[in-house]
Each structure stands twice: as C-alpha cells, then as structure tokens.
Amino acid sequence: VQGTYETFVEAGRQHYGGNLRGKWILTGGLGGMGGAQPLAAVMAGACCLAIECDPDRIDFRLRTRYVDERADTLDEALEKIERWTRAGEAKSVGLVGNTADIVPELVRRGVRPDLVTDQTSAHDPLNGYLPKGWSLAEWREKRTSDPKAVEKAARASMREHVEAMVAFWNAGVPTLDYGNNIRQVAKEEGFENAFAFPGFVPAYIRPLFCRGIGPFRWAALSGDPEDIYKTDAKVRELTPGNTHLHNWLDMARERIAFQGLPARICWVGLGDRHRLGLAFNEMVAKGELKAPVVIGRDHLDSGSVASPNRETESMKDGSDAVSDWPLLNALLNTASGAT
C-alpha cells in the first residue's frame, strides 16, 4: 500500500501543489496488488474510482476496508465521485465493470479525471484481463476450452485501453503505467504511441530513489502488535516534520489489519534507515520490545532489479537493461555479513 501511497503523494506534489483534496484517480484492477490503490488514494487525500470486473473482489475489498463503496453502473460511480470531490472528501468506489469498456467510454464522454493509471493483471493476457464485451462466465470457460482466443481478444482489448489512456495523456491528464506491462502489449498489437505516457518509476518514484528514499520494513517476532506501535512512535520521534510519513502511520494503524506477524513498512532515506535500525536495536536491548524485529528491504528500490519497462525505465545513462547494481548490491551485502 505505501508504495502506491508514495506514488500518489509525489503525483500530488508535481501536479497539484501537494494537495489532492477534491481530486480523483481513475484506475482498474482490485486484485492482490491493485487492491492497494483505492486505500492509498484515500490516504493521500484523493478520491478513487477503481474498475473491477469481478464483483467478489470488490466485496472482499469492502470487507477489508480497502475500498469504501461499490457501484454497479458507471453513472452511479461518477455521481459518487462528483459528490465527494465537491465536498472535499477522500473516498473510494469500486465499480463493477470492464476497464476495456469503461476507460474508452469515459474518454468519449469527455470525463476528466485528475490522474489515470491501471493495475489490471495485463501481464497475463490469459488469466488476468477480461476481453472487451465478454462475460465473466464466458471468459472463465474459454480460458480452458480456447486459450488462444482469450489471449487474442484480451490483447486487442488492451490496445483499446491504452489508446484511451493516451487520449487522457494528450488532453493533459497525468497518466502513468503502473508496472503491468500493458503499454508493451498495446505496442505489440500495433499501437505505436503506446509509450506516450511514462511508467510510475521514472515519473514519481525515481525522484525519491535519487534522494536515497525507499521502502524500509520490519516485522515483530514477538507477534505482539504493541511492539509495532512502539516502533511507530520511535519513527515519529526520529522523523519530525515528515507529515506525509506520519499520516501514513496513522492511516496504516487505523485501516490496515496485520496478516501473520505484525509488520510495518515506511519509505525513508538511507540516513533515516540507519538511525531507525540502531534505535530498534536499542529498544530490543533495553527490553522495550518483547522480542527482536526483523528488518527487510523491497525489490522496488534504488539499485535493485533491471526492468526496462518498470524499475529501470528511461535511465539517463541508457542502462535500462543493465543489471550491474543488483549484482554489486548482492556482493556488498554478503561481504558485509548479510544473508
């Protein structure tokens, strides 16, 4: 969730003076990764219209409080968005529908979101993207009986989806690829301008990487949520003035349930990671925490994977596909005693 939150916050900084109040984000997909979008948008102060073809996924996100309300028609969803943005409320709606149908329809209607992205599972044309005009039942049956037809129809639908996203981009709406490779599929399907809009890393995350800011996560081996709440307080103490980080901690505690061991993630700079790690060690040594905490990193970080359409897109030195830093990091980490 926080990576998406950081993306939306940075977009707000770049395009809207750091304030997303009264703004709304259009996106698709409420699966394992995409489900973070409506909650992250609300945490960042924006409204979100998230399109999802499977109503069960929307209902799951409602139960887990990742999405606030459900709509079964586009008009109903737009009415909610208009009402919330006018009132300056940050709320989200999951719309039952197909992005391949709805995103082009919004372009035709002249509807203007404040940010457009997508986290459908477009990287998997067979199992992850409902073709335009197909029912869920037809899609599920044909994935087994005629997988080639499914892939062909899904890829053609992705092209139309990306064409609509480019139309938003050309109209001046900030638009971003969120790492699902949908632009690549659209280009392979003959849409030469598929990469007109940027990926989320060069657009909004790399400025953080360039300052050494990235994901820093830890889990409480005690299994006691109180240990995480105590570390939350320590993070606040050591990062005074970092209001959006403090907002993240508040919202995470309020809206995100622990799964497995209690854990937390924060995007902080290298110097802050160092200070926080030492502070956590001291808390364990003094008995302030019931057991040690395990600190980890994320693959979405500076000097991590080489992925030309995602983490390393549009590198200034042209090294999009060069994987030297991940290898150097591995050597340095192991030489320093890490596993």
| CB 182 within 8 Å of CB 158 | yes
| Helix, strand or coil, per DSSP, at residue 49 | strand
Q: Which two tokens stand for residue 50?
A: 């998230």
Assign residue 62 a region (left: φ > 0; alpha: ψ between -120 and 50; beta: otherwise). Answer: alpha
Does the annotation mark 266 as catalytic?
A: yes
Residue 24: C-alpha distances to residues 55, 125, 334 (Å): 22, 28, 44
The DSSP call for residue 194 is: T
> Which residue among the candidates 47, 48, 53, 266 is catalytic per the annotation?
266
The SS3 assignment for 89 reads: coil
Only one residue has tokens 């320093």, namely: 336
201-214 burial, b if ≥16 CB within 10 A, otherwise e?
Answer: bbbbbbebbeeebb
Active site residues: 266
